[in-house]
Amino acid sequence: MDKLRIRGGVPLEGEVYVSGAKNAALPIMCAALLTAEPLALGNVPQLMDVRTMAKLLRQMGVEASPLADGRMTLRAARITDPTAPYDLVKTMRASVLVLGALLARGGRARVSLPGGCAIGLRPVDQHVKGLQAMGAAITIEHGYMNAAARSPERGLHGARIVMDMVTVTGTENLLMAATLAEGTTLIENAAREPEVVDLARCLVAMGARIEGAGSDVIRVQGVRSLRGAEHTVMRDRIETGTYLAAAAATGGRIRLHGAAPETLDATLEKLREAGARIRINGSTVELEGGGRPRAVSVRTAPYPGFATDMQAQFMALAAIAQGSAVITETIFENRFMHALELQRLGADIAIQGNSAVVRGVERLQGASVMATDLRASAGLVVAGLVADGETIVERIYHLDRGYEALERKLSGLGARVARVG
Ligand code: EPU
């Protein structure tokens, strides 16, 4: 299994281009299920999760062109098998995003329950509750959710849905389902994440009638059918934040092109608090680290709060900062696995419930560490880049799921990284 070898201690310097956002591309690919016409996408990142989603859609009868230069065309002329099988869902939970679109288009879906997940329980009860309110009958049998609309002809109907908690893919599933439902759907306590807004933009280009995406109430007026469209996927705010955190941690100076700084307020504010100087010019973000960072505490929250997907990278930053920081995770109950690995690099971290108290140390020392999920791996890479000597991050496949051309981009910034067998 491939590993990433990092020889740390080099401040990152240089320029890097931000890729398309994984968490926008995945739901947008599922939107192709809503129409028989082609959906032409641009800025799709070359990632394992994107390949898995294309594989899943192909199994359902969707024609998916190979991804080239960030472009991919999906055409669901006919859905031959509305099933998301366990072997794909277990490798990528985002597979559950096909549920709403399949139900809306053909009145039927069979989606495996995702099962255990490294970062917490992550149930799908809110997806199910919302679709039931729209008239779907959902039963669980043999580990699968079997969902059916009233009838294929009558499909789903609009409903007022109040989500119990903010869920990103839950909101996206219901949003897609509502586009073809009969009447109006109100999604209250909706996720406000920029990726939800990007999905809504794509759906509107396909002919959907949506208001309020980006706020906590989304109103959808169902239409009879959707058409093909072209859409360019937004830039990845978490990838952007990861490189910025790495530059701040190493005391480097980097310029990121093609970023979406308006989606990064909470991260940029925390990096400034850590002592980094940040300049924004349109879609270019420049960060200059100011020596050893100052400790900054963060508390994760739904957007526009501090992203849980940036928590591990900030824990790595806190590990070498001056002073102590408290990192509080409020979204996922088990998202501190990187803390134990950071300790192997010499970090001083004490976990108390959903908080980690991190006392900054002057130096980390390279060691072998094991990644448990995508963002945990990103945190370990940030730590490896500052640690003395060699750090080996095992299970690099987690990083391949969500970071396009990671070694190439990091090498371009002067980091000494290599993929080793
Ligand atoms: N939740 C429920 N019931 C539900 C849905 C969610 O209890 O029906 C709970 C979850 O257990 C969790 C919280 O609600 O405690 C929030 O989960 P959410 O549904 O928002 O997460 P998600 O939609 O499964 C997306 C991203 C994650 C990101 C989270 C939070 C995609 C494909 N995934 O997951 O990204 O961490 O939102 O922002 O959009 C990643 O990219 O590494 C990643 C994990």
Annotate 331-392 with three-state secondary structure.
CCCCCCHHHHHHHHCCCEEEEECCEEEEECCCCCECCEEECCCHHHHHHHHHHHHHCECEEE
Atom 28 of ligand 1: nearest residue by CA position: 309
Backbone φ, ψ for residue 86 (5° rounding): -55, -40
Q: How far is the CA of 196 from the centre of ligand 1 (A)?
A: 12
Q: How far is the CA of 165 from the centre of ligand 1 (A)?
A: 10
Reported confidence tier of residue 244, pLDDT bands at 50, 70, 90:
very high
Q: What confidence score (pLDDT) does residue 370 get? A: 92
Q: What confidence score (pLDDT) does residue 371 get? A: 85
CA nearest to 234, candidates 184, 285, 199: 199
Distances (CA, A) of 256 to 23, 227, 336: 19, 35, 28
Cβ of 83 closer than 6 Å to ligand 1, yes or no, is no
Q: Worst-scoring range by mean pLDDT, 159-163, 199-203, 332-336?
A: 332-336
Atom 18 of ligand 1: nearest residue by CA position: 167
Its pTM surpasses 0.95? yes
Q: What confidence score (pLDDT) does residue 363 get? A: 95
Which 3 state secondary structure label does DSSP give 63?
strand
CA nearest to 167, candidates 133, 209, 195: 195
CA dist 192 and 197 (Å) reads 7
Percent of the chain with pLDDT over 70: 98
pLDDT tens per residue, range 47-91: 999 999 999 999 999 999 999 999 999 999 999 999 999 999 999
Cβ of 131 closer than 6 Å to ligand 1, yes or no, is no
Predicted confidence (pLDDT) at residue 379 exceeds the cutoff of 90: yes
pLDDT tens per residue, range 181-239: 999 999 999 999 999 999 999 999 999 999 999 999 999 999 999 999 999 999 999 99
Please report where in the chains the tokens 């999920």 appear, as a residue: 373
| Active site (catalytic) residues | 117
Ramachandran class of 396: left when φ > 0, alpha when ψ lies in -120 to 50, beta otherwise: alpha
pLDDT tens per residue, range 250-287: 999 999 999 999 999 999 999 999 999 999 999 999 99
Cβ of 165 closer than 6 Å to ligand 1, yes or no, is yes
Q: What confidence score (pLDDT) does residue 333 get? A: 87
Pocket test for ligand 1, best of 52, 167, 175 (most atoms within 8 A of CB): 167
Predicted confidence (pLDDT) at residue 121 exceeds the cutoff of 70: no
Nearest atom in ligand 1 to 302's CA: 38
Q: How far is the CA of 387 from the centre of ligand 1 (A)?
A: 31
Which tokens in the block code for residue 372? Answer: 């448990």
Cβ of 92 closer than 6 Å to ligand 1, yes or no, is no
Q: How far is the CA of 254 from the centre of ligand 1 (A)?
A: 30
Q: How far is the CA of 262 from the centre of ligand 1 (A)?
A: 22
CA dist 184 and 199 (Å) reads 18
Q: Worst-scoring range by mean pLDDT, 128-132, 133-137, 175-179, 395-399?
A: 395-399
Predicted confidence (pLDDT) at residue 117 exceeds the cutoff of 90: no
DSSP secondary structure letter of residue 263: G
The answer to whether 156 and 180 have CB atoms below 8 angstroms apart is yes
Q: What confidence score (pLDDT) does residue 408 get? A: 96
Cβ of 168 closer than 6 Å to ligand 1, yes or no, is yes
Q: What confidence score (pLDDT) does residue 372 get? A: 86
Q: What confidence score (pLDDT) does residue 232 get? A: 98
The answer to whether 32 and 53 have CB atoms below 8 angstroms apart is no
Mean of the per-residue pLDDT values of the chain: 96
Atom 2 of ligand 1: nearest residue by CA position: 123
Backbone φ, ψ for residue 90 (5° rounding): -70, -25
